[in-house]
Structure 1
Amino acid sequence: MKLKADRIFAIILILVAIVFWTQTKELQYKCYIFPRLILIMLIILSAVMFVQSFFKKSMPKGKLPKDNLKYIVISIIIVFVWIALINVLGFITSGVIFLSSLTFLLDLQRLTIKKVVSTILIYILVLIAFWIAFHKFLLVPLPTGHFI
């Protein structure tokens, strides 16, 4: 049943992307580049999902284990804390804390000092790249707080 749902969802996503594509025809050249890029990626990824649904084996039905439910609840709490702190700490600082917290929560048994340091450095670089892309190039204001 899951595989059939994947196929239906992929087809719906492709149809929605096509509808949105027709909406971008009224936009000027520079205005429709980004939406069309996103729509192309959506169509490609939906097509991949559609094709994969023929080759994947369905997962056995069952209830969600209590450990997974605990991780989901903790993850939702971390997201709300991040939303609350993003204007206080700033985009990069709160983003590093948020992403690192989620990573360490989900990868608890294999936690080493090297992994902690490399994870934090990678998130700092990724968030700085996002900040440059959005704040400097696209001129989208990002939350600033007491830090960065």
Structure 2
Amino acid sequence: MPDRTPPGARADYAAFRTLPTRWADNDAYGHLNNIVHYALFDTAVTLWQMEAGCFDLTGTEAKLLVVESGCRYHAEAGFPDTIHAGLRLGRLGRSSWTTEIGLFRNDEAIAFAEGFFAQVQVGAASGQPVALDAAARAALEGLAI
């Protein structure tokens, strides 16, 4: 079996969003339930996309669909930790891209979990892939390391 990729460091990510944990995020063992990691990924990516002007809240022209996702767990976190979600560009295509996310607990320098969201932009009416415009492409390129 190949060696496992070690967790990333904060310096491996281009942008950060700070997210609180909630008491309800803990599972019976007192750490974040696995599904919470995906909710943190989704929140951090969506907040960044909204701030960068890449996300149409109305969905009248285009929609951003998550077509693949994944997560590697390295360590535990739980309430009342503050999570710092690091974002970076993994891949950029014509109408699709992958955002990689590292979750950091409080002031820790090493990620406790890392994952990705692969997304595609589709036309709201057609549901077919639509090329990214120059502004969205430039915003995403800003996440490149």
Global fold match (TM > 0.5): no
Higher strand share: 2
With structure 1 as the length reference, what TM-score do the two structures score?
A: 0.28
Query: Which of 1 and 2 has higher RCO (CA within 8 Å, sep 6+)?
Result: 2
